[in-house]
A = this chain, B = another copy of it.
Amino acid sequence: MKRNLLAALALGFVLAFRGLATAQAPDPLPSWNDGKAKQSIVAFVAKVTKKGSPDFVSPAERIATFDNDGTLWAEQPMYFQLLFALDRVKALAPQHPEWKDKEPFASLLKGDVTNALAGGEHAMVEIVMATHAGMTTEDFEQVVKDWIATARHPVTKRPYTEMVYQPMLEVLTFLRANGFKTFIVSGGGVEFMRPWTERVYGIPPEQVVGSSVKMRFEMRDGAPLLVRLPEVHFVDDKEGKPVGIQEHIGRRPIAVFGNSDGDLQMLQWATAGRRLRFALYVHHTDATREWAYDRNSNIGRLHKGLDEAQAKGWTVVDMKQDWKVIFPIEKR
């Protein structure tokens, strides 16, 4: 009797296993239309993971880096971190009466963002430093967590964490399922991203590379603290991206994903490595479902990069043509 039971269990196990082995593997990229872009991703992963193939790459070397703004989540009508900074200016204004007469804060508090940003990069740095520094790392983390949990995108009125690209979430999952380690390499602030990238992208804090301010270790009442200083430590954009990769990861990625000229040096650096490499640009072509912009945009300009992608045969994703859905909400 007992023997029969075991035999039945074992038989069931064998049959179940056979069923699994012969079943069609599910499509790893269901939100992608069939086409050159999707095929290029699937083919690359197949080649570098096939043992014995000349293109095989050991799991330890399977490093993939992703830009964030415009590549993993949207960046219009302006970088989300800048919208965060503007919200912080409003929240902090009562503690800064001097801002009423001081640009760029005065314009911001009157709701005139255009005028506030007329000061260009200098104005931007002033806003970022006033809102991102002068507190401990733990306090800043809490501020970001509170904001990302409650703030809404000015156009769609959805949480920012729902403004991520469903097809790119699938690429992240697909790569990790094939032994890749996925990193963010973004011009955005590293401490602005880390509080939510693990939950939203499955990317842990230690795999986020970004821009940063200097920090100072100090003791307050016997407790150690890290204080964020209003001084730039590292700008992880353009020429800074390969530097950030070397500094943080110490290996050249074999797959890179970006959407703008700010990512070009990262794509150049990765693809100049030996053996098979993969580079992909997300091209924002869908004015209906998202935004359409490239060569003449102030945000996420893709001009030199588009030419170089065509010349070098990098994958260029036409969002309108290649993506069945853009945001996760469209799937539901």
Question: A-side interface residues toward B, CB under 8 Å?
Answer: 3-4, 6-7, 9-11, 14, 60, 63, 137, 181, 183, 190-191, 194, 198, 204-208, 212, 215-217, 219, 223-224, 226, 233, 239-240, 242-243, 246-251, 265, 268-269, 272
Complex contact A215–B194 (CB within 8 A):
no
**What's the nearest-Cβ distance from chain B to residue A107, in Å?**
33
Complex contact A226–B249 (CB within 8 A):
no
Provide the bound-state CA to CA distance between A224 and B265, in Å: 8
Complex contacts, A239 vs chain B, CB 8 Å: 216-217
Complex contacts, A60 vs chain B, CB 8 Å: 198, 204
Most chain B CB within a 10 A radius of its CB, from A4, A181, A268: A268
Complex contacts, A9 vs chain B, CB 8 Å: 10
By Cβ-Cβ distance, the 9 closest A-B pairs, closest first, are: A205-B250, A10-B10, A217-B239, A7-B7, A6-B10, A206-B249, A194-B250, A224-B268, A215-B243
What would 19 more interface pairs be, CB under 8 Å, given A205-B250, A224-B268, A248-B248?
Answer: A3-B11, A4-B7, A6-B10, A6-B11, A6-B14, A7-B10, A190-B250, A205-B249, A206-B248, A208-B250, A212-B247, A215-B243, A217-B239, A217-B240, A217-B242, A219-B268, A223-B272, A224-B242, A226-B269
Partner of A243, one of B198, B207, B217: B217
Partner of A215, one of B3, B63, B246, B268: B246
**What's the nearest-Cβ distance from chain B to residue A229, in Å?**
10
Complex contact A224–B269 (CB within 8 A):
yes
Which residue on B lies nearest to A212, using beta carbons? B247
Can you name 29 A-B residue pairings with CB atoms under 8 Å?
A3-B7, A3-B11, A4-B7, A6-B7, A6-B11, A7-B7, A7-B10, A63-B206, A137-B246, A181-B206, A191-B250, A204-B251, A205-B250, A205-B251, A206-B249, A206-B250, A208-B250, A215-B247, A216-B239, A217-B240, A217-B265, A219-B268, A224-B265, A224-B268, A224-B272, A226-B243, A226-B269, A233-B247, A248-B248
